[in-house]
């Protein structure tokens, strides 16, 4: 049976880091508050030359190196991002030109922090129709550019970075086993980031309140736990897999308390959850592929092991995926 299998991973973090201590210079907060409420200690912040497309391309180069493929071997490039360098062209097209991947077509996916899992799901559909395709899926963000550094409710949470993987068809049964995606646009107001206001006065929104990320933290917290729990239960049923069979859960890295609560609800060993948010904060669509790459390079991903991904983000969007590594 042919499945869409991840054959290479990569990641890229900007060089600069902002510690909790650094943040105390700009907003009324403390290392103790941030650490206990979120688990985050530092986050990477991009500067000129480290735009989303550059981070994405660097992560992609690493993934290509791991597979031994050339950029010309890629057929499709999908970038999950809510912080593309420009609205048009897509970040994926900029990555294509950075890599010289001239045999590919390229497009972006916007599903906020869930974007990478959505991207994998789209890639899987293409590979199901043609297992010979090589598809690059990237999650890349520079949310630092859309963060209000005077708002302590949000500025302590986010970070920049990119993660990438390459998928192709494989007959061995390894690869994506099942996925389940959801969204509920009725809840859009609880986590949002407006773009530039429309220049067409008829279309301009009255409630446009700037381009910064805005969030109702407590509501987001509750929905994140409930929604990811539901998605995981559904995907495990679809995959006919018990939670005990999962060797590693790689969740979206938003908040340590969300992950602890999720572990309790799911009845999964906390040690089976891959956590790196203390180093990077919430990197939105980049968080799962960065964690996947780290876990891969640390040797935590063992051939034929069952992995679980789960995500939650603005929209709201959420979902879960089971993979046989
Ligand atoms: N430093 C110090 N105090 C802070 C603070 C900060 N950085 N941010 C908020 N506070 C204060 C609040 O102003 C509030 O003070 P008050 O009681 O005097 O009004 C107090 O801390 C408690 O705020 P609250 O929002 O209830 O805290 P919380 O325990 O819910 O934690 C979050 C806040 C944002 C960490 C938490 O709600 C969260 O993680 N939510 C999910 C966010 C997320 O993951 N978003 C992305 C999803 S993809």
Vertex 72 angle, CA 70 and 77, to 5°: 100
- Please provide residue 196's backbone torsions phi and psi, each rounded to the nearest 5 degrees: -65, 145
pLDDT confidence of residue 16: 98
- Please state the rounded mean pLDDT for residues 247-252: 98
Index of the ligand 1 atom closest to the CA of residue 112: 48
Confidence check: pLDDT of 208 > 80: no
Q: Which domains does the chain have, with CATH numbers?
A: 3-172 (3.40.47.10), 176-198+205-324 (3.40.47.10)
- Please state the rounded mean pLDDT for residues 42-64: 98
- Please state the rounded mean pLDDT for residues 230-256: 98
Confidence check: pLDDT of 13 > 80: yes
pLDDT confidence of residue 130: 97
Is residue 113 annotated as a catalytic residue, yes or no?
yes
Cα radius of gyration rounded to whole Å, the chain: 19
pLDDT confidence of residue 210: 78
User: d(Cα 312, Cα 319) in Å, to the nearest integer?
Assistant: 7
User: d(Cα 260, Cα 269) in Å, to the nearest integer?
Assistant: 10
Average pLDDT, the chain: 96
pLDDT confidence of residue 42: 98
User: d(Cα 305, Cα 303) in Å, to the nearest integer?
Assistant: 6
pLDDT confidence of residue 30: 98
Rounded to the nearest 10°, the torsion over CA 167, 315, 93, 138 is -30
Confidence check: pLDDT of 203 > 90: no
- Please state the rounded mean pLDDT for residues 146-156: 95
pLDDT confidence of residue 112: 98
Residue 204, judged by CB atoms within 10 A of its CB (0-12, 13-18, 19+), counts as exposed
Instruction: Output the ligand 1 site: residues, CB below 6 A.
Output: 29, 33-34, 37-38, 113, 152-153, 156, 215, 217-218, 220-221, 224, 254-255, 282, 312-313
Index of the ligand 1 atom closest to the CA of residue 312: 48
Give me the percent of the chain exceeding a pLDDT of 70: 100
Mutate to test the pocket of ligand 1, among 217, 260, 315 (most ligand atoms within 8 A of CB): 217
User: d(Cα 193, Cα 315) in Å, to the nearest integer?
Assistant: 10
pLDDT confidence of residue 232: 98
Confidence check: pLDDT of 211 > 90: no
**pLDDT tens profile 270-325:** 999 999 999 999 999 999 999 999 999 999 999 999 999 999 999 999 999 999 99
- Residue 209: pLDDT band (50, 70, 90) is confident
Is residue 252 annotated as a catalytic residue, yes or no?
yes
Is residue 12 annotated as a catalytic residue, yes or no?
no
**pLDDT tens profile 97-132:** 999 999 999 999 999 999 999 999 999 999 999 999
**pLDDT tens profile 282-296:** 999 999 999 999 999
Residue nearest (by alpha carbon) to ligand 1 atom 24: 218
CA of 154 to the centre of ligand 1 (A): 8
Confidence check: pLDDT of 202 > 90: no
pLDDT confidence of residue 196: 80
């Amino acid at each position: 049976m042919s499945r869409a299998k991840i054959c290479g991973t990569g990641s890229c973090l900007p060089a600069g880091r902002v510690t909790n201590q650094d943040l105390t210079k700009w907003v009324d907060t403390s290392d103790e508050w941030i650490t206990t409420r979120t688990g985050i200690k530092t986050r990477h912040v991009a500067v000129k030359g480290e735009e989303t497309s550059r981070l994405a391309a660097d992560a992609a180069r690493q993934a290509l190196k791991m597979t031994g493929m050339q950029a010309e071997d890629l057929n499709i490039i999908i970038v999950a991002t809510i912080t593309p360098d420009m609205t048009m062209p897509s970040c994926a097209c900029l990555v294509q030109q950075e890599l010289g991947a001239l045999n590919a077509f390229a497009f972006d996916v916007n599903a906020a922090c869930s974007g990478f899992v959505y991207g994998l799901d789209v890639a899987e559909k293409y590979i199901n129709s043609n297992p010979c395709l090589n598809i690059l899926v990237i999650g890349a963000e520079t949310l630092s550019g859309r963060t209000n550094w005077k708002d302590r409710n949000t500025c302590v949470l986010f970070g920049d970075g990119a993660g990438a993987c390459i998928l192709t068809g494989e007959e061995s049964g390894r690869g994506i086993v099942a996925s389940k995606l959801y969204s509920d646009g009725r809840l859009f107001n609880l986590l949002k980031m407006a773009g530039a206001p429309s220049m067409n006065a008829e279309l301009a929104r009255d409630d446009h309140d700037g381009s910064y990320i805005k969030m109702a933290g407590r509501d987001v917290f509750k929905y994140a736990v409930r929604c990811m729990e539901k998605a995981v239960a559904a995907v495990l049923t679809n995959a006919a897999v018990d939670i005990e069979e999962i060797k590693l859960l790689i969740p979206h890295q938003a908040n340590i308390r969300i992950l602890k609560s999720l572990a309790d609800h799911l009845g999964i060993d906390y040690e089976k959850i891959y956590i790196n948010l203390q180093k990077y904060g919430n990197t939105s669509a980049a968080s799962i592929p960065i964690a996947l790459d780290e876990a891969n390079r640390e040797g935590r991903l063992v051939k034929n092991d069952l992995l679980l991904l789960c995500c939650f983000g603005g929209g709201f969007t959420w979902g879960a995926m089971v993979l046989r590594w």
